[in-house]
């Protein structure tokens, strides 16, 4: 399925990107300077401003304001240019970034000051600085201000917000919780404005959905796993396990779909739309051996056998497959003749209804 497009609306964005496998993306001071240089050159072309940044050894934070609905183009250029520079300099090959950058549209001005504090406090949180202004590669850094003063090379940076923020007190748990709520919030368009999307209640999430799908939906809508656990009277560990297995099921389903196994259905079909029974049926009929083994691990022997007995066992087209499944996975000591005598339960029911 195609990836969802970025919002791209004009305004402020909090942007994070990390090195692949949590590897370092900045090794020397020259690397930090090169990244800032690329930011400035890209700003000259696309017309954005930076209101806060912290460049850490293996990731970076930016608070950026765009004016031409071009966030994806901006970040693609910044990340690709820096990746080319880094790979060439250190004679490495392969991707530098762990994946697409993460971005959050700042729909409410009250979060701007909190974001600036969060970004600039990152070096202190990581125990590589003791106070604001000490870390060399944050926008609040005395080093960066000195660099600007002597080179005048970074007109893209805007100190308007930084000047309004009080850095005298530590970034506390209350602010962190507030920021976490902001980063988890979904947004929607109302008129010409982006606003927080109203979350469904947990009761609504669990209406007409299986438990695993409802848990995934609730997490996607911004609920904490601890909140879901309290609602279901389960432990957070149990919720985490269900969600982890659900994601593995979705991954397996997508693999099967991309192989064309669900060719008779819409190309946009998802695991949630197909459901467990249809997924297991097609997995048993058309999946390779390793996929079937994984299916037993994820769905469990009972669910797999139930679908097998209802959908495959009596189907004469799959006698060899059924024999393998019966012997290898269900521990049945039988021969192929066994399946020639099995009656098609669905066909028998239809005959009964027609008589």
Q: Can you give the pLDDT at residue 182?
A: 73
The 10s digit of each residue's pLDDT in 45-86 is 999 999 999 999 999 999 999 988 889 999 999 999 999 999
**What tokens does 14 get?**
């909090």
Confidence at residue 1, expressed as pLDDT on a 0 to 100 scale: 40
Is the per-residue pLDDT at 154 higher than 60?
yes
For 187, the enclosing helix (H) or strand (E) is strand 187-190
* Cα–Cα distance for residue pair 21/212, rounded to 1 Å: 29
Question: pLDDT confidence of 239, banded at 50, 70, 90?
Answer: very high
Expressed in percent and rounded to 5, the helix, strand and coil fractions of the chain are 55, 10, 35
Domains of the chain: 11-196 (3.30.70.1290), 244-312 (no CATH)
User: What is the tens place of the pLDDT at every residue in 161-215?
Assistant: 998 988 888 888 888 877 877 777 665 555 555 566 667 788 888 887 899 999 9
pLDDT(91) > 90:
yes
User: Does 28 score more than 80 pLDDT?
Assistant: yes
Strand partners, 194: 189
Residue 185 confidence (pLDDT): 66
Taking only the tens place, the pLDDT of each residue in 17-26 is 999 998 999 9
Contact call for residues 37 and 69 (beta carbons, < 8 A)? no
Most trustworthy range by pLDDT among 102-106, 113-117, 166-170, 282-286:
282-286
- Given a cut of 50, is residue 346 above it in pLDDT? yes
pLDDT for 247 equals 95
pLDDT category of residue 264 using cuts at 50, 70 and 90: confident
Tokens 């308007």 belong to residue: 160
* Per-chain mean pLDDT for the chain: 86
Mean pLDDT, residues 27-43: 93
Provide long-range contacts, Cβ within 8 A and 24+ apart, for 255-262.
255/291, 256/282, 256/283, 256/286, 256/287, 256/291, 259/286, 261/286, 261/287
**CB contact set of 111 (below 8 Å; sequence gap of 6+):** 178, 179, 182
Min mean pLDDT across 160-164, 241-245, 280-284 is at 160-164
- Identify the pLDDT of residue 146: 65
């Amino acid at each position: 399925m195609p990836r969802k497009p970025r919002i791209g609306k004009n305004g402020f964005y909090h942007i994070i990107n990390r090195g692949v496998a949590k590897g370092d993306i900045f090794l020397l001071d020259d690397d930090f300077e090169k990244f800032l240089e690329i930011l400035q050159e890209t700003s000259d072309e696309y017309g954005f401003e930076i209101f806060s940044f912290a460049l850490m050894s293996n990731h970076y934070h930016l608070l950026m304001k765009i004016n031409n609905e071009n966030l994806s183009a901006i970040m693609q250029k910044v990340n690709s240019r820096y990746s080319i520079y880094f790979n060439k300099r250190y004679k490495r090959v392969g991707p530098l970034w762990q994946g697409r950058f993460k971005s959050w549209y700042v729909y409410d001005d009250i979060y701007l000051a909190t974001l600036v504090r969060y970004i600039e406090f990152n070096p202190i949180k990581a125990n590589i600085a003791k106070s604001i202004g000490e870390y060399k590669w944050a926008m609040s850094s005395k080093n960066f201000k000195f660099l600007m003063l002597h080179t005048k090379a970074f007109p893209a940076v805007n100190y308007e917000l930084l000047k309004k923020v009080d850095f005298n007190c530590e970034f506390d748990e209350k602010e962190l919780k507030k920021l976490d709520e902001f980063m988890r919030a979904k947004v929607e368009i109302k008129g010409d404005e982006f606003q927080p999307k109203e979350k469904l209640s947990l009761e609504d999430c669990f209406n007409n959905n299986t438990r695993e799908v409802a848990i995934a939906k609730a997490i996607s809508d911004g609920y904490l796993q601890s909140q879901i656990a309290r609602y279901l009277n389960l432990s957070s560990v149990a919720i985490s396990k269900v969600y982890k297995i659900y994601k593995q099921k979705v991954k397996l389903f997508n693999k099967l779909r991309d192989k064309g196994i669900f060719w008779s259905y819409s190309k946009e079909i998802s695991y949630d739309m197909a459901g467990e029974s249809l997924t297991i049926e097609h997995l048993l009929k058309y999946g390779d051996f390793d996929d079937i083994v994984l299916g037993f691990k994820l769905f469990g022997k009972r669910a797999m056998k139930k679908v097998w007995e209802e959908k495959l066992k009596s189907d004469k087209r799959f006698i060899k497959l059924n024999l393998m499944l019966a012997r290898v996975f269900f521990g049945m000591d039988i021969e192929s003749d066994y399946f020639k005598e099995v009656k098609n339960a669905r066909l028998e029911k239809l005959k009964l209804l027609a008589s």
